[in-house]
Amino acid sequence: MKIETIRNKNVSVRIPPSKAHTLRSLILASLSGGVSHIRNPLLGEDQLHLIESLKRLGVSIARDDQTITVEGSGGRFHPVETTLDCGESGVAMNFLTALACLSDRDVTLTGKPGLLKRPVGEIVSGVRQLGGAVEYAETEGYPPLLARVSGLSGGEAAMNGEKTSQYFSSLAIASPCAASDVTIVCRDDMAEKPYFDITLDMMRRFGVEAVNRDYKRIEIKAGQRYTACDIDVESDYSSASYFFAAAAIAGATVRMEGLAADSVQGDREILAYAEAMGCAVVRDGAFLTVSGGDLTAIDASFRDTPDLVPTVAVMAAFARGTSRLRDVAHLQFKECDRIAAVRDGLGRLGVETSVDGKDLIVAGNPGGIRGATVSSWDDHRIAMSFACAGLAVEGISIDNPDCVKKSFPDFWQRFSVFHA
């Protein structure tokens, strides 16, 4: 798909709903007693796979374009089918690994070939430590998985968190359904802490409290019950980041609607990153306006904001100076090896990159970037990030553009505002 250079430099766009909030709302509503309504949900491929998996676990779910209605299971699942297809969703695989142990039938968790290459040893270990019976169906350390009828006994589970906080979110969400109190221990420094903050905030909204002791020990009392509630899903800062990048790279002004000022989303850091690189960012109530400027290099940590790395790396290519994106090693374990994908794409555009330990180095080349066909690596965030470069440089094309449906189904429609 060829990206046309920008024609409209003054645009307005409404940002789509949060992927993280939608996924967690679906799971928590499914564990609750009563009927929950999830308004303004994101209905990307990950959400649709999760909805289908929850239905197979026996949860009643109805949806239209604006609302998902979930009749919760009360913390115990009664599967109508025993194979759960997680598609390409690592979140669904990690979260359902713990939840499947709450079923009264054995359940198999599988997915598309890309997902089956993503390691799950850490979450399987955590579930086993809490009494869950999870087996590898084929290859040790990787899906497919077989979750036996077992329930969760509770106790203490210790895991490493350097790759993702999803393991801790998974156990935390399932822990109120355990037979005894649960303590989850992080042996190292948990990555992606803001996503875990979203989990704890959403659990609280569904009536369950967890004690977070500086992301080292998380304590959840047994006997708590999730209660149904209605959720209005806030807009997604990760999705907004592509419009920040578009403004920065193409020298445009973009007015975005729907981004909550008090959001706990870690990817709200895109505001700080954009300002540090020379953009002007103004908030006016429910609106954020970003205007591109003369971009300069950035030196910042992305340990808690991994989804922003492809976006900021492409911005850095258009900046004066050499940027250092710190603490990004865990991006190797996403939908693809995102470090390799970013370096491949920037290399095709004539931008030099290197890796220094856990850091990605991008040598800015404003004025020297050339057109090329960029591989998306079948990764939604790679495709959307490099699309922004095409607004400023002739001849940039993205292969497999439909991969954006994973998190931003109508991205290309909204992105077309720059060509109106």
CATH number for the domain that contains residue 201: 3.65.10.10
In this structure, are 206 and 349 located in the same domain?
no
Among 46, 307, 327, 378, the active-site one is 307
In this structure, are 246 and 175 located in the same domain?
no
Question: Rounded to whole angstroms, how far apart are CA atoms 330 and 161?
Answer: 10
Q: Which amino acid is at 8?
A: N
In this structure, are 133 and 281 located in the same domain?
no
Check if the beta carbon of residue 277 is closer than 8 Å to that of residue 247. Answer: no
In this structure, are 210 and 334 located in the same domain?
no
Assess if residue 93 is contained within a domain: yes
**Does residue 327 register a pLDDT over 80?**
yes
**Does residue 323 register a pLDDT over 80?**
yes
**pTM, two decimal places:** 0.94
**Does residue 333 register a pLDDT over 80?**
no
pLDDT at 137: 97
pLDDT at 278: 97
Over residues 164-180, the mean pLDDT reads 97
For 103-123, how does the pLDDT look when each residue is reduced to its tens digit (9 = 90+)?
Answer: 999 999 999 999 999 999 999
Assess if residue 2 is contained within a domain: no
The mean pLDDT of the chain is 96
For 76-87, how does the pLDDT look when each residue is reduced to its tens digit (9 = 90+)?
Answer: 999 999 999 999
**Does residue 249 register a pLDDT over 90?**
yes
The residue out of 196, 220, 244 marking a domain boundary is 220
Over residues 263-276, the mean pLDDT reads 96
pLDDT at 332: 86
For 120-139, how does the pLDDT look when each residue is reduced to its tens digit (9 = 90+)?
Answer: 999 999 999 999 999 999 99
- Quick one: pLDDT band at residue 65, thresholds 50, 70, 90? confident
Assess if residue 310 is contained within a domain: yes
The residue out of 156, 189, 220 marking a domain boundary is 220
Assess if residue 225 is contained within a domain: no
- Quick one: pLDDT band at residue 172, thresholds 50, 70, 90? very high
- Quick one: pLDDT band at residue 251, thresholds 50, 70, 90? very high
Over residues 169-191, the mean pLDDT reads 97
In this structure, are 318 and 177 located in the same domain?
no
In this structure, are 240 and 354 located in the same domain?
yes
**Does residue 285 register a pLDDT over 90?**
no
In this structure, are 304 and 358 located in the same domain?
yes
Assess if residue 4 is contained within a domain: no
Over residues 384-403, the mean pLDDT reads 97
CB atoms within 10 A of CB 282: 11
**Does residue 18 register a pLDDT over 80?**
yes
In this structure, are 177 and 30 located in the same domain?
yes
pLDDT at 335: 81
Total domains in the fold of the chain: 2
CA 177, 178, 184, 190: dihedral to nearest 10 degrees? -30
The residue out of 172, 191, 220 marking a domain boundary is 220
In this structure, are 256 and 150 located in the same domain?
no
Q: Minimum mean pLDDT among 249-253, 297-301, 333-337: which range?
A: 333-337
Assess if residue 242 is contained within a domain: yes
Assess if residue 1 is contained within a domain: no
**Does residue 366 register a pLDDT over 90?**
yes
Instruction: Copy the structure tokens of residue 118.
Output: 């993503």
In this structure, are 70 and 183 located in the same domain?
yes
Q: Which amino acid is at 281?
A: V
Domain coverage including residue 147: 19-220
Parallel, antiparallel, or unpaired: how do β-strands 253-257 and 287-291 relate? Answer: antiparallel
In degrees rounded to 5, what are phi and psi of residue 6?
A: -65, 140
Over residues 274-294, the mean pLDDT reads 95
**Does residue 420 register a pLDDT over 90?**
no
In this structure, are 36 and 174 located in the same domain?
yes
In this structure, are 314 and 373 located in the same domain?
yes
Question: Rounded to whole angstroms, how far apart are CA atoms 383 and 372?
Answer: 13
Over residues 21-35, the mean pLDDT reads 97
Assess if residue 231 is contained within a domain: no
Q: How far is CA 366 from CA 291, 296, 350, 370, in A?
A: 18, 10, 10, 10
Q: Does the annotation count 106 as an active-site position? A: no
pLDDT at 225: 96
Burial of 320 (0-12, 13-18, 19+ CB in 10 A): middle
Over residues 78-98, the mean pLDDT reads 96
- Quick one: pLDDT band at residue 198, thresholds 50, 70, 90? very high
